Structure 1
């Protein structure tokens, strides 16, 4: 017994100084982490304030924003995020060609992709293969400028309106955009990891459509002034059919499996992918509803397809005409599929692009009628009815606004302080910074954070909170969020240690 007591005493006597040593090391590490945080705050503040008599230190700020942990990108369109150069590579791999001039008689349009083998021949001199395009520098540059916004502002040339140019690009590269979705996602993953991003929530493919002539006609006959009862009756008949029809259910099951195949092998220890499904807001009402039904069904209880959205030019004729009808569709389907998460493009409008009355309710309807948990863009907030009350409601409901600075600037002309992001911050509305269509915009997520920091000079703590918002307001499961937030904590510890060293080496001698 005495030997056991002596042994226990010896172990205890040995363990006590060890535990004390570990505690001291932990305290030392914690103190160093706090010191690095404070150094990063000070360095960042110097960069956005500039030096006396000088402007903001943009180059250093740009570097710091590239190093910054990004968390997630949760307003992201797959097809608009792949760069045009990658699409050209895929055209070469598929043996397709691109027309270098238009021939209306033969229904050939300059810059369009030809996928029909019968037209891809050596005698067709107007349709160039990928290698030939790369050898023709003038046409190559024209092509990249047409399939993206590069060069739009920096030289004089005939051009359509910026918003039309932006949305036109998708029509050009759409024939090749789904060539190898898994390969495309792999490329986007590599790009994201290179700029210290750990999570991507992308809008990948639109949900399938199933028609029923009688029930579809009833929905297509609905008008803006149709009663809610009329809408619900028409919705109910088509929804009941889609829920029971074997063909419709097979399309949904095939769509889910296709999405699973697209995402195969993308997740790893440092990167996580989730998918939003979506519908086009500029289709016939019955097609929108049928596609929405499929989107909700695919997303319900699905750990990969985590949300539903609606996309397309919000100021287009059909989108404006059917906006309230679309919101009622979301409300109806949310009742049938209550677990589905919703992020809606809403308020991507400015004064002049639509009549004033259409600026007064899009965001409010997306929240109050459709039940959106996040709002994409939300830049018409100033023109909404009772905007002060809407701001308060966004805060109360904890609805995050997805900020897309580059696309808002290009498509809508919202520049600098005309953008409401600073107003959102002042009113404590949660925001996230996102990239939207980085391939078309020739941007990336680091660039969006750089614009946010340089234009609106948020404090470092606000900047850091905004990064964390990209995980907190994602549609990840609660358990996945815990994992992602822990990873983000670790990334910021490393980042702030690196930023503190950078601050020491960057002391100005001028």
Structure 2
């Protein structure tokens, strides 16, 4: 019955528009009806949804980690470029040049450390490596598998030596993949700003962190010292130069990439604050750096212990650098990851204390003590949440009706669909839209709005947003014309 009704509806659309059947408005209506048939019923048409979203313009990907976005196969290609090899027993990269040279001189059958071609020629090692450097073939808990969150975060330790080099080639690979799936903008968390250690700062932060005035004074004093430190300032200049060098030539008329710098929340307070200060200063110096973020497993003991300190650091630096945009991983936690009281304040503090412009993940929302205020604030202040369905399902086991995207949508909080670490969890942005559509059955109008949201909430100047929005308009016009033509032909065949 649904098929007959959709065919009739499409026929009526084309009949009623007559000579104007090819108009953008008619094409949009036809696309809307086509999409509705794909999500109708208890079992959405996954294959057709995949085809639909692979072709649909998706604007941008705003929650995107550079190192986690690159697929293992690309990292393997980097081995030979850097003159490295991977140990076939531990699956870790060997960086000692003497060891690598000795291994490369051996016959293939005697090697215990393999280059790119050697790994591809050894299928057992290749498949085992894929299972450690990504979530490939991971199904569920088992005696030979770590829990999913550990599996996910451990991957970065394996490919780190090649992810910390070859930046330009890596960005080109990401651009190529994005263009193929009709993504016109990526805002990637690219590199960590350089940190500086100060044990005295650490001790004072832990001792007086609950005294806001004292902690602000402590941060201000060390900031002034660092501002006057030539070595610290040179590290920032060098950092910006590396970003500029890596990103040269990535943008073109049809694709744009911008870069967030980040701090690692697993480090001592002095490292986090100095890295955060460097990130804010770097952002001011570079047009390509558009925001600051904080990364690292949120359920980690250090992350939980120092969370409030980190939010106060952001608050302090936002008063010094008010124009720097901040997107924060906040609430990437599920019941059981930490004690229940640990779920009650992360999103709240990211918004009310750190003054985040965007929130990443936000999956502990339903457990937050001030959930009503959070929803109201995000709606009224137009603070979007970055939704990462595959990542949340794999790392935290949050999916389907348990995912708070249902709450964000219900209470009018803006949101975007993003990938997080597509290379590790082996998916893409089109796949995220397929999951979103099949699980929650949003209208085509909502889907289209989400695509535009990824440009609206990008950390870009108004002129760049206008340019990308105009491009998105043209891409949707072309896409909808194609869907309308496809369905018009299907109606005739019926």
CA–CA distance in 2 between the matches of 1:421 and 1:276? 24
Larger deviation, residues 121-130 vs 237-246? 121-130
CA–CA distance in 2 between the matches of 1:152 and 1:180? 28
Assess if the C-alpha contact under 8 Å between 2:68 and 2:423 holds in 1. yes
Q: Does 1:63 align with 2:63?
A: no
Q: Does 1:478 align with 2:462?
A: yes
Aligned residue number for residue 49 of structure 1 = 40
CA–CA distance in 2 between the matches of 1:277 and 1:420? 27
Cα deviation per residue 1:387-444 (whole Å; 9 max; x = unaligned)? 1232111101110000000000000001211111122111111000001000001001
Aligned residue number for residue 374 of structure 2 = 390
CA–CA distance in 1 between the matches of 2:195 and 2:334? 32
Aligned residue number for residue 202 of structure 1 = 188
Which residue, out of 63, 79, 98, partners 1:118?
Answer: 98
CA–CA distance in 2 between the matches of 1:28 and 1:99? 66
Assess if the C-alpha contact under 8 Å between 1:49 and 1:56 holds in 2. yes
Which residue, out of 467, 482, 486, partners 2:451?
Answer: 467
Give 5+ residue unaligned stretches, structure 2.
1-17
How many residues in Structure 1 have an aligned counterpart in Structure 2? 471
Aligned residue number for residue 121 of structure 2 = 135
Q: Does 1:193 align with 2:184?
A: no
SS for the counterpart of 2:328 is strand
Q: Shift in Å at residue 126 of structure 1?
A: 2.4
Aligned residue number for residue 13 of structure 1 = none
Cα deviation per residue 1:216-264 (whole Å; 9 max; x = unaligned)? 345554466x311221122112111111111111111111111011100
Q: Shift in Å at residue 508 of structure 1?
A: 10
Q: Shift in Å at residue 74 of structure 1?
A: 0.6
Q: Shift in Å at residue 358 of structure 1?
A: 1.2
Q: Does 1:87 align with 2:67?
A: no
Cα deviation per residue 1:321-343 (whole Å; 9 max; x = unaligned)? 00000000000011111110000
Cα deviation per residue 1:372-394 (whole Å; 9 max; x = unaligned)? 01000001110001312321111
Assess if the C-alpha contact under 8 Å between 1:301 and 1:339 holds in 2. no
CA–CA distance in 2 between the matches of 1:390 and 1:217? 31
Aligned residue number for residue 350 of structure 1 = 334
Larger deviation, residues 54-63 vs 260-269? 54-63
Root mean square deviation, CA, Å: 1.9
Aligned residue number for residue 4 of structure 2 = none
Aligned residue number for residue 421 of structure 2 = 437
Assess if the C-alpha contact under 8 Å between 2:71 and 2:424 holds in 1. yes
Aligned residue number for residue 311 of structure 1 = 295
Which residue, out of 453, 456, 480, partners 2:440?
Answer: 456
CA–CA distance in 1 between the matches of 2:144 and 2:116? 25
Cα distance 1:265–1:29, how it changes in 2: closer, same or farther (>3 A)?
farther
Aligned residue number for residue 35 of structure 1 = 26
Which residue, out of 50, 56, 78, partners 2:66?
Answer: 78
Assess if the C-alpha contact under 8 Å between 1:97 and 1:127 holds in 2. yes
CA–CA distance in 2 between the matches of 1:236 and 1:487? 44
Cα distance 1:240–1:43, how it changes in 2: closer, same or farther (>3 A)?
same
- Aligned 1:138-149 pairs, distance under 5 A: 138-149=124-135
Q: Shift in Å at residue 178 of structure 1?
A: 2.3
Assess if the C-alpha contact under 8 Å between 2:62 and 2:188 holds in 1. yes
Aligned residue number for residue 6 of structure 2 = none
Assess if the C-alpha contact under 8 Å between 1:219 and 1:285 holds in 2. no
- Aligned 1:280-429 pairs, distance under 5 A: 280-300=264-284, 302-429=286-413
Larger deviation, residues 54-63 vs 455-464? 54-63
CA–CA distance in 2 between the matches of 1:381 and 1:509? 48
CA–CA distance in 2 between the matches of 1:263 and 1:157? 43
CA–CA distance in 2 between the matches of 1:362 and 1:138? 43
**TM-score relative to the length of structure 2:** 0.92
Cα deviation per residue 1:167-202 (whole Å; 9 max; x = unaligned)? 000010001112210111001001000001111100
SS for the counterpart of 1:399 is coil
Which residue, out of 117, 139, 148, partners 1:153?
Answer: 139
Assess if the C-alpha contact under 8 Å between 1:377 and 1:402 holds in 2. yes
- Aligned 1:104-115 pairs, distance under 5 A: 110-115=90-95
Structure number with larger C-alpha Rg: 1
Cα distance 1:361–1:154, how it changes in 2: closer, same or farther (>3 A)?
closer
Aligned residue number for residue 7 of structure 2 = none
SS for the counterpart of 1:197 is coil
Q: Shift in Å at residue 212 of structure 1?
A: 4.7
Assess if the C-alpha contact under 8 Å between 2:133 and 2:159 holds in 1. yes
Cα distance 1:450–1:403, how it changes in 2: closer, same or farther (>3 A)?
same
Assess if the C-alpha contact under 8 Å between 2:240 and 2:286 holds in 1. no
Assess if the C-alpha contact under 8 Å between 1:149 and 1:166 holds in 2. yes
- Aligned 1:1-12 pairs, distance under 5 A: none
SS for the counterpart of 2:271 is helix
Assess if the C-alpha contact under 8 Å between 1:220 and 1:284 holds in 2. no
SS for the counterpart of 2:220 is helix
CA–CA distance in 2 between the matches of 1:455 and 1:197? 22
Which residue, out of 161, 165, 172, partners 1:175?
Answer: 161
SS for the counterpart of 2:23 is helix
